[in-house]
Amino acid sequence: MRIVKSILLILFILVFVSVSFSAAPAKPKATKESPASVEMKPADTKPSDVKPEEPKPAEETPKKVKRIDSYIAVFDLETTGKVDKDVIRPLTESIRREIVKSGKYEVIDRGNMDKILGEQKFQLSGCVSGQCIVEVGQLLGVGKIITGSVSMVGKTYYFSLQLVNVETGKIEDQSEDECKCEIDDLIKSSKRLVKKLMGETIPDQQVTTKALEKPAMPDIAGTWHWSVKSIFVPDRINTINADGTCNLSDGLLCTWSFQKDGKNIVFRFSDKWTHIMTLSKDGLSMSGSDDWGTGVTGTKIKGP
């Protein structure tokens, strides 16, 4: 009987345990979830641990300096055609020197131009448009800018300069020059251009004008006492005509003309002799020599 009770007790215990396990909730199986589906809880942080975002630096813009109207900058010349690019720098420097000589502007040299624009991180190369040129002028603080170009057609160089007002961006003045010359002579051409642009007189033009003008010749027409300092040649009367002819009292004919310098007079006689004479300041006497170096004098007796 005891054995039966023991077996029944064991069976009761087994049934009770199995029922208890079956009633317990099942644990969910672990599954892999994508990062996006997982809700992230913000970490507990203290206010002192949070660093504010640093503001992004604003893009630097070139700073314009105060403009001084008496300052001027000269841009490197542009070249077209078959012009040797090695002449750009010498010609540009020649232009700067001539402007300095004129005394009308304070010229910024190329070194300072590069330094100022470098500090502003501005690239000068390729700046050929009017708007870009004016912007550079504003950065440099100048009142005027000079730009220019050199081109070649055939064997002739064409040279031009423009004076630009930085405030208005307009071309105030310009000058042009032609030079059918060797490349070495372009320096002279650049000097002429600057003088034109600055409103100065060009010396070369003055020389050319004077060379074309014939000097005023004195009037020597009249009767002259003609004397050759030789015991073999007697004194004679020389009648000088305004038409360039003359005749001596002994029957010799002659012609006369002024030399190119306008100072000496050449008399050519029909006996093949030549007298070269110099007229006095008052026009009343002349002196000189013949072909053998013998002295000759003439004294005016009366007018024509």
**Residue (of 248, 230, 229) closest to 238 by Cα position:** 248
pLDDT one digit per residue (tens) for the chain, 304 residues: 667 667 777 776 776 656 555 555 555 454 444 444 444 444 455 555 555 565 555 555 555 566 788 899 998 888 887 888 888 889 999 999 999 998 999 998 888 888 888 877 776 666 666 778 788 888 888 899 998 888 988 888 898 999 999 888 888 998 888 888 887 788 888 888 899 888 887 765 444 444 445 556 678 999 999 999 988 889 999 999 998 999 999 988 999 999 876 778 999 998 889 999 999 988 899 999 998 899 999 999 987 6
What is the structure's pLDDT at 2?
A: 66
User: What is the spatial distance between Cα 245 and Cα 255, in angstroms, rounded to a whole number?
Assistant: 4
Those residues whose C-beta lies under 8 Å from the C-beta of residue 132, and which sit 6 or more positions away, are none
What is the structure's pLDDT at 141?
A: 87
| Same domain? 164 vs 281 | no
| Same domain? 194 vs 114 | yes
| Same domain? 190 vs 244 | no
| Same domain? 81 vs 141 | yes
What is the structure's pLDDT at 205?
A: 47
| Same domain? 76 vs 167 | yes
Those residues whose C-beta lies under 8 Å from the C-beta of residue 179, and which sit 6 or more positions away, are 156, 157, 159, 185, 186, 188, 189
Q: Which residue has the tokens 């540009």?
A: 92
Domain boundary among 202, 230, 263: 202
Could you tell me if residue 15 is inside a domain? no
User: What is the spatial distance between Cα 105 and Cα 100, in angstroms, rounded to a whole number?
Assistant: 7
What is the structure's pLDDT at 35?
A: 45
| Same domain? 163 vs 121 | yes
What is the structure's pLDDT at 231?
A: 87
| Same domain? 174 vs 251 | no
What is the structure's pLDDT at 44?
A: 52
What is the structure's pLDDT at 95?
A: 92
What is the structure's pLDDT at 296?
A: 95
Tokens of 118: 């470098």
Beta bridge partners of 254: 246, 269
| Same domain? 192 vs 251 | no
User: What is the spatial distance between Cα 87 and Cα 3, in angstroms, rounded to a whole number?
Assistant: 129
CATH number reported for the structural domain that contains residue 150 in this entry: 3.40.50.10070
Domain boundary among 136, 167, 202: 202
| Same domain? 130 vs 181 | yes
User: What is the spatial distance between Cα 226 and Cα 300, in angstroms, rounded to a whole number?
Assistant: 9
Helix 88-102 vs helix 110-119: angle between axes, to the nearest 10 degrees? Answer: 100
- Domain containing 142 equals 68-202
**Residue (of 84, 223, 67, 227) closest to 138 by Cα position:** 67
Could you tell me if residue 78 is inside a domain? yes
What is the structure's pLDDT at 125?
A: 63
Tokens of 47: 């206010």
What's the total number of domains in the chain?
2
| Same domain? 77 vs 196 | yes
What's the CA angle centered on 127, arms 121 and 132, to 5 degrees? Answer: 85
| Same domain? 161 vs 99 | yes
Those residues whose C-beta lies under 8 Å from the C-beta of residue 1, and which sit 6 or more positions away, are none
Confirm whether pTM is higher than 0.85.
no
Could you tell me if residue 6 is inside a domain? no
User: What is the spatial distance between Cα 106 and Cα 156, in angstroms, rounded to a whole number?
Assistant: 33
Those residues whose C-beta lies under 8 Å from the C-beta of residue 228, and which sit 6 or more positions away, are 235, 290, 294, 295, 296
H or E stretch at 180: none
| Same domain? 259 vs 169 | no
Contact call for residues 101 and 190 (beta carbons, < 8 A): no
